[in-house]
Structure 1
Amino acid sequence: MTLSDILRPVSSTMKAVFALGFIASGFTLLAPIAVTQLSHSALAGNLTATSVWFWLAMIVLGFVASHLIATGATGHAHMVESKFRYDLRSRIARHMGRLPLGWHTSEASGRVRTIISEDVTKIHTIIAHTGTDLGHAVGTILLGSIYLFTLSWQYALVVVGWLVVSIVVFSLAMLTNPTTSMEVFNEAEKDLTASTIELADGIATVKAFGMSGSLFQRFSDALDRYTNASYAWMKGPGKPMAVMMALISPAGMLVPILVGAWALVGAGIVEPILIVPFLLVGVTLPSGLANVVPLMHLVERGKDAAESIGALLAEPALPEAAEPRTIPEGARADIVFENVSFRYAPDAPWALREIDARFPADRVTAVVGPSGSGKSTLVKLIARFWDVDEGRVLLSGVPITELASSDLLSRLTIVLQDGGLLTDTVEANIRLGRPLATREQVEAAAHRARIDGRIRELPDGYDSVIGTGGVHFSGGEAQRIALARAFLTGSEVLLLDEATAQADPHSERQIQEALGTLAAGRTTIVIAHRLATIVDADQILVLDSGRIVESGTHAELLTRGGTYAAMWEAQQ
């Protein structure tokens, strides 16, 4: 996606404010024209009160009209840009909502935050200022040059020629400097932003290792690349830009004006009185251009931002069935894997291979195995974090790819290892399980999750905002808040990814009590590391290297003396 594609919805507005900026530049010429006319009349000796008041009115009109038009155009552009930015961020958010859940687990949060907050903001200046500034610059140069040529084409040729030569020299110099320096700078800036966010998120871990971890090293490397890219830009495109800015500055424009006056007045080609309008107009002739030159850098950054936004919007959404099927009312929530194989990338090794399994409704199935055996992957395939490469997954006899994703997720409750707490009130965090739940229902769910007492100890109870004012929860407490959400959902399927992994013994006991209540009447699938927590499971699947190597109850698996028995022995 290009910058023009991004800006297409506001292209008409940008054209309109360009025209208004052009018109505003015309009104700014009224002041020097008025001064010139007053000077002529004064020298000719025919200056009257009427003409003085008329030209003074023209000066006031020029300043007021120019200001009002430019301000109005810029204000309108800002309002349009504000809505555009809202719409673009909403579009990105909607698209992210359609992406597979697995995309969110694998994508760097720093990149996503940069796109939503910074890349979208980079387009602000292009919409809000470029049209007016560019229109004013073009109008000032074009209309000002026409006015000067009507006074003296020879004198105007000197002044305008200086401006044209400066721009041509700058353009040639830019052609000799590869644009890659700007691209490298933009890329380095993005990397630094992402690394800064990553460092801020992981600062506690980094400090624990004396700032010597790989996280700080990545930040340091990103900072070095950004610094080097900045120097490279200043040595490359920065030099000709600085030279041109000096040549077209008011002081720089005095050179052709004064030299031209000395030569042309001395030769008798122009009258000395013409120096006045050339000073007034000639000095300000490139003023608009001086504002446009910095915009070139912003446009380049906007192009880079548009590419990042386009890349995100091009991420393939989770495929949805053209005519989604529905699960019959009252159907048992059995989950079946039929010869399922999955890998994270076409050239990656198989994460799961030839999985055939049935997870009975109203029963608890535990999934165990060594780290990296595919436990979490198997459970996440049920929620369509990703789609399988081979085989299929069925819920109540219906392939999950034929269900609307919203329908599928409404039938699942997922409790991950970290609890997934948001920076919001405790009540709002629990209510994620059912947005329309009442306070009484929220409190009842928290009570069933064995976390109500802890919440009431907080300064503002259920209205306390997590992450602020010292309101923090341990890993086990966060898990119990997540379980409170699950109590609110009433879904048929419960997916637990090592729900007690971060819990202390006290929290683990309370979580187990809550899980016992929560699992009743649901199809429950539990990923467990501590085998003692799943000895009462109705079925245990043992994974190793992406394959099911054993299945049965706790007692049956111990009797066989296989992988599960060895794992059990190792934990005793």
Structure 2
Amino acid sequence: MTTLALARTGALARLLAPVRAHLLTCATLSALSAAAGIVPYIAIAEIARLMLDAPHGLSGSVWTWVGVGAASAGMRLLLFVQSSRVGHYADAKILHQLRVRIVRHLGVLPLGWFRVSGSGRVKRAMTGDLEEMHEVIAHALGQLTGAVAVIAVATGYLVFVDASMALIALGVLGVMGVFYRIAMRSMTTHMNRLIAAETRISAASIEYADGIQVVKTFGTGGRILARFDAAVRDYAEAFAAWVAEVRYSSAASRLFGSETAVLAVVTAAGLVFVAHRSLSVADLVAFLVVAVGLPNSILPAITASQGVRKGRMGAVNIERLLSLPPLPEPQIPIEPEGYGVEFDRVTFSYNGVTNAVEDISAVCAPGRVTAIVGPSGAGKTTLASLLPRFYDVTDGAIRIGGVDVRSIPSATLLASMGLVFQDVALVRDSVAENIRIGRPDAGDAQVHRAAVAAHVDEVIARLPDGYDTLLDAGGGSLSGGERQRLTIARAILSDAPIVVLDEATAALDPENEAAVQDALATLAADKTVIVIAHRLHTIAAADQILVLDNGRLVERGRHDDLLRRNGLYARMWAAQQGVIA
């Protein structure tokens, strides 16, 4: 058995280990309930046999079987309720634990993982995979154990009545099992392909929703829908391939697993045996009552077995997510004594082949503004992402206050930074709470002062409920520039000693851009400020400008010095000013 097959087999058992006792209880109660449920049919068959053997009166045995059937029906209901209660309790308990584990594990993963993997994988784990495990715990387990119990009890009774006829009845179901096995032989392969396509559809759907304005503006034929179309096409092709492979075997399994097939075979064989006097009419009635009902127990078990397969694959996906290595925490944590930032021959590669940034060295002093500029794809955002450890450097080191960031506890590291990136991140809460994320213990007056400093206070005042207005993840009615200013207020409130601004003013109009630049100038006092900018006039007054190109540091200096060198920075400046160099 391959490693992957072993993982599929064991992942579900490992994840369900905390509720194993509850599951065993649920399975036992389900088996007893199902066994009790078949007894009334056996009682009916026995009553029919007794009445056919004694047509002129009701013997005491008949009433005994009536009592047995009635008691079994009541017992089945009682056991079923208890089994369902235990199963759903176990389901709620373990799924709660797994959700907590997943959320906590997501909290310790490198933030760069979320950028690479997007939200599709997380959404799949938190919804689809857990839902498939829910089906196993709350439904499939009881259905499987119940089906086994029914088949065992019914088979025992039918063999007791007539072994030959029992063999014929079970043979029909055996043929059904062979065809079902053929139909399911490659289910895992097809399901993995469907799950992969479904994950891509989820990710593409989120991208589509985020980019709906672009889609509306430029039409649905734009490139933004290419990944969504490809994912849907892959899903449809995977499903069609599966259907094409199993259509005949699946149809045959349904045919031989139907009541009609069992009834036809049992009736035909029984009449032949009756004609040859090897089977009584009373015994044939027993088979028509009990054997014909077996498919009703087996078909739910087939559905349940498919649910178990899906549950195993869901468990494997969840285990893979939980096994992702967390951001390494230092074994001997060191607190920095200062907040100057040093990039020491920093190299980083996303794929281990091509370096996104290479051999970059620079010092960003406290109380000074360092700007990072360069063409698109030069590595500006990548370099800034290495500072808060969204990723760890491939080579070299980044130090804060002389301490390698890998030696600083992650909570301390992130608390030392106010981060404002191009992608605005808001939460589904009030405006005040969105700002207060930067400092959870801040009072209302401090929140208001931060909003004023970010020049967003007047915008908030126009909202229906002011600072109590609820926002969604998209910012509600706020414009892109207003949402960006809200995150700047968050950074101002945090009062972190290091401030990283990635195109923080890109979404602002010229008037608001100037106002926010003034606020950022106040924010920068006595702080280490790193600004990534595309519009060069916004960083012309920076104390130091680092110019990147193809992941390498090609120039550094102040604005006037770089213009005199007539290099890449000067050409970029001339292009933005509309001057032909």
Aligned residue number for residue 480 of structure 2: 475
Q: 1:453 aligns with which of 458, 482, 485?
A: 458
Partners in 2 of 1:100 and 1:170 — Cα distance? 44
- Taking the TM superposition and a 5 Å limit, the aligned residue runs for 1:57-96 are 57-96=67-106
The answer to whether the 8 A contact 2:23-2:90 is kept is no
Q: 1:151 aligns with which of 161, 168, 171?
A: 161
Query: TM-score, length-normalised on structure 1?
Result: 0.92
What is the SS of the residue equivalent to 1:501? coil
- Taking the TM superposition and a 5 Å limit, the aligned residue runs for 1:87-486 are 87-172=97-182, 180-327=189-336, 331-348=337-354, 350-467=355-472, 471-486=476-491
Stretches of structure 2 lacking an aligned partner (at least 5 in a row): 1-6
Aligned residue number for residue 507 of structure 1: 512
After superposition, the C-alpha distances for 1:49-85 in whole angstroms (9 at most, x for unaligned) are: x766544332232222212222322332222122222
The answer to whether the 8 A contact 1:137-1:287 is kept is no
Distance apart, 1:357 and its partner CA: 1.0
Partners in 2 of 1:120 and 1:211 — Cα distance? 33
Partners in 2 of 1:79 and 1:506 — Cα distance? 59
Task: Tell me the C-alpha RMSD between the 2 structures.
Answer: 2.4
Distance apart, 1:461 and its partner CA: 1.5
Aligned residue number for residue 543 of structure 1: 548
Percent of matched pairs sharing the same residue: 38
Call closer, same or farther: CA 1:419–1:167 in 2, change over 3 Å. Answer: closer
Call closer, same or farther: CA 1:560–1:236 in 2, change over 3 Å. Answer: closer
After superposition, the C-alpha distances for 1:102-124 in whole angstroms (9 at most, x for unaligned) are: 22222232233223222222222
What is the SS of the residue equivalent to 2:342? strand
Distance apart, 1:422 and its partner CA: 2.3
- Comparing 388-397 with 269-278, greater Cα deviation is found at 269-278
Q: 2:29 aligns with which of 20, 41, 45?
A: 20
What is the SS of the residue equivalent to 2:16? helix
- Comparing 79-88 with 562-571, greater Cα deviation is found at 562-571
Q: Which amino acid aligns with 1:304?
A: M
Aligned residue number for residue 3 of structure 2: none
The answer to whether the 8 A contact 1:15-1:131 is kept is no
Partners in 2 of 1:314 and 1:358 — Cα distance? 37
What is the total number of aligned residue pairs between the two structures?
566
Call closer, same or farther: CA 1:171–1:344 in 2, change over 3 Å. Answer: closer
Call closer, same or farther: CA 1:78–1:391 in 2, change over 3 Å. Answer: same
Aligned residue number for residue 4 of structure 1: 10
Q: 2:58 aligns with which of 32, 41, 47?
A: 47
Q: Which amino acid aligns with 1:486?
A: A
Q: Which amino acid aligns with 2:93?
A: K
Partners in 2 of 1:178 and 1:483 — Cα distance? 51
What is the SS of the residue equivalent to 1:385? coil
Q: Which amino acid aligns with 2:285?
A: V
- Comparing 124-133 with 527-536, greater Cα deviation is found at 527-536
Aligned residue number for residue 569 of structure 2: 564
Runs (4 or more) in structure 1 with deviation over 4 Å come to 50-54, 172-175
After superposition, the C-alpha distances for 1:485-520 in whole angstroms (9 at most, x for unaligned) are: 112212111111111111111221221122122212
Distance apart, 1:245 and its partner CA: 2.0
Call closer, same or farther: CA 1:513–1:393 in 2, change over 3 Å. Answer: same
Distance apart, 1:412 and its partner CA: 0.8
Call closer, same or farther: CA 1:408–1:213 in 2, change over 3 Å. Answer: same
Partners in 2 of 1:421 and 1:174 — Cα distance? 46
Query: TM-score, length-normalised on structure 2?
Result: 0.91
Distance apart, 1:9 and its partner CA: 4.0
Stretches of structure 1 lacking an aligned partner (at least 5 in a row): none
After superposition, the C-alpha distances for 1:311-367 in whole angstroms (9 at most, x for unaligned) are: 33333322111121122xxx331111122222222111x222222211111222222
Call closer, same or farther: CA 1:439–1:19 in 2, change over 3 Å. Answer: same
The answer to whether the 8 A contact 1:423-1:466 is kept is yes
The answer to whether the 8 A contact 1:425-1:464 is kept is yes
Partners in 1 of 2:347 and 2:474 — Cα distance? 47
Partners in 1 of 2:472 and 2:15 — Cα distance? 39
Q: Which amino acid aligns with 1:197?
A: I
What is the SS of the residue equivalent to 1:204? helix
What is the SS of the residue equivalent to 1:222? helix
- Comparing 471-480 with 544-553, greater Cα deviation is found at 544-553
The answer to whether the 8 A contact 2:562-2:569 is kept is yes
Call closer, same or farther: CA 1:144–1:424 in 2, change over 3 Å. Answer: same
- Comparing 213-222 with 185-194, greater Cα deviation is found at 185-194
Q: Which amino acid aligns with 1:33?
A: I
Call closer, same or farther: CA 1:61–1:313 in 2, change over 3 Å. Answer: same
Instruction: Find out whether 1:555 has 2:560 as its counterpart.
Output: yes
Distance apart, 1:173 and its partner CA: 6.0
What is the SS of the residue equivalent to 1:155? helix
Call closer, same or farther: CA 1:304–1:571 in 2, change over 3 Å. Answer: same
Partners in 1 of 2:530 and 2:565 — Cα distance? 23
- Comparing 1-10 with 438-447, greater Cα deviation is found at 1-10
Partners in 1 of 2:439 and 2:9 — Cα distance? 40
The answer to whether the 8 A contact 1:140-1:286 is kept is no
Call closer, same or farther: CA 1:47–1:309 in 2, change over 3 Å. Answer: same
The answer to whether the 8 A contact 1:476-1:508 is kept is no
The answer to whether the 8 A contact 1:364-1:538 is kept is yes
Partners in 2 of 1:497 and 1:365 — Cα distance? 12
The answer to whether the 8 A contact 2:182-2:249 is kept is no
The answer to whether the 8 A contact 1:20-1:135 is kept is no
After superposition, the C-alpha distances for 1:384-436 in whole angstroms (9 at most, x for unaligned) are: 11111221111111111111111111111111113212232212211211223
Partners in 2 of 1:10 and 1:548 — Cα distance? 52
Partners in 1 of 2:385 and 2:203 — Cα distance? 27
Partners in 1 of 2:45 and 2:361 — Cα distance? 92
